[in-house]
Amino acid sequence: MKRPLGLSPQLLMQLKGLYIRNFRNIADEEITFAPGCNVIFGENAQGKTNLLEAIILLSIGRSFRTSHLSELIREKEAAFYLEAEGVREGISHHLKLSFDGQTKRLHIDGNTYAHFNPLLGLFPSVVHAPRDVELVSGAPSERRRFLDLALAQSEPLYVHHLSRFYRAMKQRNCLLRSQIWDAIDCWEAEMAQAATQIQKMRTQLIASLSPALQKEGKALSHGQECHEMVFSPSYPATGEGYLEQLQKNRRRDSELKLTATGPHRDDFSFLINGKLARIFASEGQKKTATAALKLAEWQELSKKIDALPLFAIDDLGQPLDPVREKHFCQMLEKLGQGFITTPKKLDIGSHGQKIKIARGCRVVHLPEGAELIHKNASPRGNEAPVPL
């Protein structure tokens, strides 16, 4: 994290503005963002995290809070609609997306898509939220999701290999349940080819994250803790080895009616000072580990895309104790554009902005100390969203 904000325009990406309609508790709002730190503050249950969720949905094409997009539609409304303007490497991009409970619609610079995956890699981001502690003590699926998203934003082929594996595994599972063996060889061969690449990329990611994880973990813990990640794949690293395993396990998998080994069963664990964090770490240590991981993820993503990704933090006041929070905030000064939700005001630099949220409305605190109040009415008024 040696590149300060403003050092090189080629390295910067910025979400300049966002229009929201019928998203969670936000009825109709248009917000302009600062190039530095955007602090979204206000009382609890007012909509701070909802605004952050909309920003991240535009970045990665999915919510960091739920897998059910229908939950994002404002109560008694038919659909939500988001529109944003952003700049990356000096090039402006115009994004529009909507969801009506059934159909996804996405426009990127005039190109139309029926899904949100094309957003991956356009404005990459890292999100740190209180639920990230599940990366230490939660289910393996949480940790696989972390690996998948981190790789999907920087390695376009990763999504291809992952989709290829799941498509082939779905076919294998159907054949296992019906006990039809004639056509299973080709699907297992495709699974083995894709799984080899997936494991290779996951292994490389964890290895590349480790130095920064240790560095940031020591900084956040005042040198008291050493953090490690240990990858635990569920299948051999070579395609030949995994193919042999699949063939050997056919009868058992047929009884289970599923494929028992593969990328969908991989896991990794945290060690703090050589001990398994899931069992021995305190809650404070777990939060420090995830904060260090997110900083390491941002650094690694920045190297891969040769730009400064967006950084988002939900509820800054909760994840860390006051001492560790202070160190975390000092590190944030070296990042690019950031979005932070918090129940309290924070000091921000000259490139920053404070956005107050109250009942789905906003109050932007201008540098002069004046307040611009919007009561669920954007400059667009009652204008209908642009059809996708």
CATH number at residue 326: 3.40.50.300
**Domains identified in the chain, total number:** 2
* Inter-residue contact 329 to 321 (CB < 8 Å): no
pLDDT at 68: 95
44 and 101 both lie in a single domain: yes
Q: With a threshold of 0.85, does the pTM exceed it?
A: yes
116 and 140 both lie in a single domain: no
298 and 180 both lie in a single domain: yes
Last residue of a domain, one of 272, 306, 340: 306
Q: Domain with 145 in it: what CATH number? A: 1.20.1050.90
142 and 101 both lie in a single domain: no
245 and 136 both lie in a single domain: yes
232 and 145 both lie in a single domain: yes
* Closest-CA residue to 386 (of 29, 123, 119, 98): 98
280 and 175 both lie in a single domain: yes
151 and 198 both lie in a single domain: yes
Structure tokens at 4: 């300060």
Range of the domain at 183: 132-306
- Give the Cα separation of 320 and 316 in Å (integer): 8
CB atoms within 10 A of CB 293: 25
pLDDT at 382: 43
321 and 255 both lie in a single domain: no
For each successive 10 residues of the chain (388 residues), what is the average pLDDT?
Answer: 46 88 94 90 88 96 95 96 95 96 96 96 94 95 96 94 98 95 94 98 97 94 94 97 97 96 98 96 93 95 93 78 67 81 71 78 53 46 42
Last residue of a domain, one of 271, 306, 341: 306
In three-state form (DSSP H/G/I as H, E/B as E, the rest C), the secondary structure along 265-298 is HCEEEEEECCEEHHHHCCHHHHHHHHHHHHHHHH
273 and 317 both lie in a single domain: no
pLDDT at 348: 61
314 and 278 both lie in a single domain: no
Last residue of a domain, one of 306, 325, 350: 306
242 and 330 both lie in a single domain: no
* Inter-residue contact 234 to 261 (CB < 8 Å): yes
Helices (H), the chain: 48-60, 134-137, 140-152, 156-178, 184-220, 239-248, 250-256, 277-280, 283-305, 322-332
